[in-house]
Structures are given as C-alpha cells and as structure tokens.
Amino acid sequence: MIAAIIAIFVATTTLSDDNGEEISYPDFLERVTQGEIVKGTYNNNSGSIKATAVDGTEYKSNGPLPLPDTDTAVINDSVAEFRYETPSTNFFLSLLPLLLPIGLLILFFWWMQRRAQGQVGSIMSIGRSRAKTYSTERPGTTFEDVAGYDGVKQEITEIVDFLKMPERFAQIGARVPKGVLLVGPPGTGKTLIAKAVAGEAGVPFLSVTGSDFMEMFVGVGASRVRDLFESARKMGKAIIFIDEVDSIGRKRGAGLGGGHDEREQTLNQMLSEMDGFEGSEGIVMMAATNRPDILDPALLRPGRFDRQVVVPLPELQDRHDILKVHVKGKLTADDLDLNVVARGTPGMSGADLANLINEAALYAVREGDDEIAARHVEMARDRVLMGQKRESLALSNAEKEAIAYHEAGHAVCASVLPTADPLHKVTIIPSGMALGVTMQLPEEDRHIYRSDYILDRLVVMFGGRIAEELVFGIVSTGAADDLMRATALARSMVREWGMSNEIGPMAWGSQNQVFLGEDLVQTRDYSDETARVIDQETERILREQQDRCRRTLNDYRHGLDLVARALLEHETISGEEVDRLITVSRNGSQASSLAGDTAGSISSSGS
C-alpha cells in the first residue's frame, strides 16, 4: 500500500507528456517579437510556458509569476493564438497528506490483528505432535542399507512380516509385541534399523524424539502423546518410533520431581495409550535408548515394550561390512585393505567408522591425493584415537628424553608381556592432551577379561613411571593419568569382579553419578572395615604389579635404551620395530654373557 501511494505521487508530480525544447524566458520573448511563435499557453499557477513555432517546433520555458504587463502586451500583439490557463488543483495530491497517515494506521492495525491470530493459532496447536511422518512415497530405507547386524535383523523380521501379512499371525492366534525397544551404545544405528523396518514393511513411519514432548506448559507432553497415537490410528498400519525414550521414560517416584511433574504426566499418558490399542490394529511402537537401566519398570512390562533388541557394537565382520558401505562412492587406493582396517578398529561404532573414513578422505584432499590410501586411514585413526597432533609444541631436550623413556617403558612392557594386547605404534609427538602415546590394538574382539590380562594391563600402565625412575632416579607428573586408570582398574578388580582373596566372591557396584529417577543420596552397602580391606587390597595389587614392572624393565634395560633412542631419532616407531630392538638387545646381552663366560674359563685354565 505504501509503495503504491508513493508511485502514484511520483507519477503525478514528475511525469509529463510534452517533449519540447527547453529555452530561456528572454529567448522566448525574442522569438515572439520576431514572429516565430504562432501559438502557446501560459500556466498562471506555475509560470510554465508551452509554445509552438512556425515550423512546428515545440518549445517550453518558465516565465515570471505574475507575468509583467509589458510582456503580456508583446505576447498578445505578436502571437495569434495565446491562452492563459489556471488549471484546477489535483484532488488526489490535495488528499495525499491526509491519506498517508490514515493508510499507515490501517496497515499497523492489520499487522497487529494478524500477529494476534498467529499467536492464538500457535497456542491452539501447541498440543499437537511434532512427529515427522515418512510415508511410502519417499525412498525408504531397507535392511540392505544396514550393514552387518544379521542377528538384529533376524530378530525384528517378524515385525515386518506382521505389518505385511497380519492374517498369518491371526490364524494361529499369535500376538506380535506391541513395543520393541532397541538398546545399544550411541552410534550403533538404532534409528537406522527402525527406519529400515518401516521401509521393509512399506508403512508410514512416525519419528519423534523424547525431548519433543517436553514444553514449558504443564500437560503439553501428554497432549502431544495423545495426538501422536491418534495420527497413527488414522493411518491404519504405522510404526511409531521414539528416539531417546529415556528422556521421558525415567523411573517415577524417586529422585527429583513429584507426582505432578511434567515428565511423569507424559509417561503416564504414554503408558495408557499403549494399553489402549490392540496388537491387531497394525500399530507397532519402537523406541531407542542407550540407558535401559533407568527406564520405568511399567514401560518394560509385557504388553508395552515387552521385547528388547540389543544393538551392540559391531563385531569384526560387521565392521568390515559397515566400512564397505562408507567407502562406496569414494576413490580408494589398491593398498587400502578393509579387513586390516576392521581388525584395527575394535570398539568403534558405525558412527565412529563413518567418521574414520571421512577423516581419511579429508587427509587425502589435504595432501592433494586423488584416492584414499592406507596411510590416510592410519592418520585418521590416530586422529580419532589419540587426538590432533601438536607438532608446534616446544619441548626442551630434557623433556623429550623423559617422554621418550616414559613411552619406551610402556612399549617394552606391552611387547614382552604374554597376555598384553599387541603393540601397534609408539610416538613422542604430542597428540591431544598427551605428550606421547603408546597404542595397543587387540588381535580380536574381547568380551570377557581374564585376571592375568588385567594384571598385564596394570604392568603396562606402570611402565612409563618405572622407566623414568630407573633411568633418571626420580619420578615426574607424566604418569598422572596412568596412575588414575590403574587405580580405578585395580579397585574394580577388588570391589566388582571378585579378584581378591581377602574380599572373596563379593561384589559392590560402582558409584555412578546421580541422575533423575534414581536415589538422590548415594548409599554404601558395606562396612567401614570392608572399605579398609578394599583399600588395602587395591594397594597390594598396585604395588605387586609395580614391582613386577620394575623387574621386567630391569631384565630388558638394554632394549629400553634402544627404544628410547629410536624414539628420540624418529619420534614415531611401529610395534614391529620395538619387537626387533628388544630382540637385538636380548641377543646382544646373551652374546656378551657368553663372551664373558668364555674369557673367565680361559683365564682360569691359564692360571
């Protein structure tokens, strides 16, 4: 409206249909006296003059206001047809000063009304579900898009069969679980598996996160739950997927929050809605969480989420299949063996493997290569496991030597102990928060840990501190993290795993952080005397393994020196190089011992 008013005003005041030649007023009078002008008009309001010459040329000029009598007489005597006009005032221009503020007021009130309607609409729709609907028209995710996890796929295949062919289950009287809870660590692909179920079944997929139910207004979460189930019922067959269900499904009646807590109202409404629909309706609920221990028991009872499907960290073959998916569409070099990468990435989830391949691609671009090579994946794994290298960190020669012997102590212990994980590489280049790193990679995935393996791990952890003590005669703060991890591991052996003869076959859970839905005050379920014995046993285990580490490094002292010198020279050496240096040191010491024995026997015989 404002733009239209301004355009009309500009057009009215500036546009004109005459294109005559502009001349000055004296020039106009001169042409009049010479008889060149045959007709013209004079505007009494503005003083503008329009004239036409004998040859038809159009002229325009501006005369004085009012026109002098002498000039008027000359014009009247010389021009045959000359008119004096007084045009009427433009009605719109006269109303414009009044219409403009009125129009602005009308526009303001209209905007206020629209804003009020929008607020009312948002308030009225605040209780609606925020679930995203993925219908069958969209390209669906299937089990082929989920690499590995054959056992998980087989376990939830019957959910797909029920949604495709419910009559088969109805004939035999079987009841399909109403709810399926996907349990597993973060990044294992629980959401992807739920989408694959919907894609295989060809039914709408309603996806919502647990935090979407929470709002500042009380009762909004329960209203959104009702709207979610109502939308699913209208679709007939559907899958409702709630991600991070632990945000609304935590235990009730304990910890913080009373009975009128918004979270509890939302959970109560979800429980009642799950009881409200029958299994024959074709609605299946799926949820994902990485904290099943804090869920309310009513949520996990039969008839609700009565089936739990564990989605663990991928095994060796699963990691290989996942890596194949993530390298698809990327240019890879011939030396990149996914089997080797899979063996070297134990404990990594699907999200970690995707990030590993992406980091390797970034390293390839950074170096100007056209393909992802094995060295790029190695660099990416070091970046993920150890952190970004800080090559610009300035260290003195004494600090470098201390770090070299510290890491050499870890490396020697990891190389010679029988049950320790194989040594992969050692570096004294600062990475992340560490000044040096000794990396061990297991040959296979471990699911249980024997006591001898744990004790060897403690010896490896003490290797850096004992190496500094043997070489320099003093200890430093470089072993702070090693001591913390060793103490926690030894305490777990005594308190949780029953690996102490003094304590016996008794276990007490670890003291985790307080979270909403659990006891607000932590309690200790053993006496002070037992606590003293636990501390004594923890100290005993740590001192015994420290002494064992000291004996090990004394036996391989020459190898310790060789590994430290190699680190000072090359900064990074492989596990194979460490094994070679230790073998060389053992052969050298045996040769020296044999030579000494021979010399002793010769001297004895000579005497």
Q: How far apart are CA 539 and CA 491, in angstroms?
A: 9
- Are 465 and 423 a contacting pair, CB within 8 Å? no
Cα separation of 41 and 59, whole Å?
11
Strand 132-134: give its sheet, edge to edge: 132-134, 205-209, 238-243, 283-289, 179-183, 307-310
How far apart CA 601 and CA 607 sit, in angstroms, is 10
First to last CA, the chain: 124
| Max intra-chain CA distance, the chain | 161
Whole-angstrom distance, CA of residue 582 vs CA of residue 415:
8
CB atoms within 10 A of CB 204: 21
Laid out side by side, the sheet with 423-427 consists of: 437-440, 423-427, 572-574
- Give a three-class secondary structure readout of 73-87: HHHHHHCCEEEEECC
Q: Which residue has the tokens 């009605």?
A: 91
Helix (H) / strand (E) containing 62? strand 58-62
Residue 49: burial class (beta carbons within 10 Å; 0-12, 13-18, 19+):
buried
Does the annotation count 264 as an active-site position? Answer: no
Q: How many CB atoms lie within 10 A of CB 70?
A: 9
> HSE-up of 539 (CA within 13 Å, CB side)?
6
The active-site residue out of 36, 273, 359, 407 is 407
Cβ atoms of 179 and 169 within 8 Å: the answer is no
CA-CA distance, 190 to 134, in Å (whole number)?
17
Burial 77-105 (b: 16+ CB within 10 A, else e): ebbeebeeeeeeeeeeeeebeeeeeeeee
Distances (CA, A) of 222 to 128, 272, 380: 10, 10, 46
Burial class (CB in 10 A: 0-12, 13-18, 19+), 315: middle
d(CA 445, CA 463): 24
Contact 63, 49 (CB under 8 A): yes
CB under 8 A, 24+ apart: contacts of 446-452: 446/346, 450/419, 451/493, 451/499, 452/418, 452/419
The DSSP code sequence of 483-546 is HHHHHHHHHHHHHTS---TTT-S----------TTS-SS----S-HHHHHHHHHHHHHHHHHHH
Which single residue is written with the structure tokens 């609409």?
Answer: 121
Tokens for 30, please give them.
Answer: 């001169």
Pairing of strands 283-289, 179-183: parallel
How many Å apart are CA 428 and CA 357, to the nearest integer? 25
Strand partners, 238: 283
Q: Which residues are catalytic?
A: 407
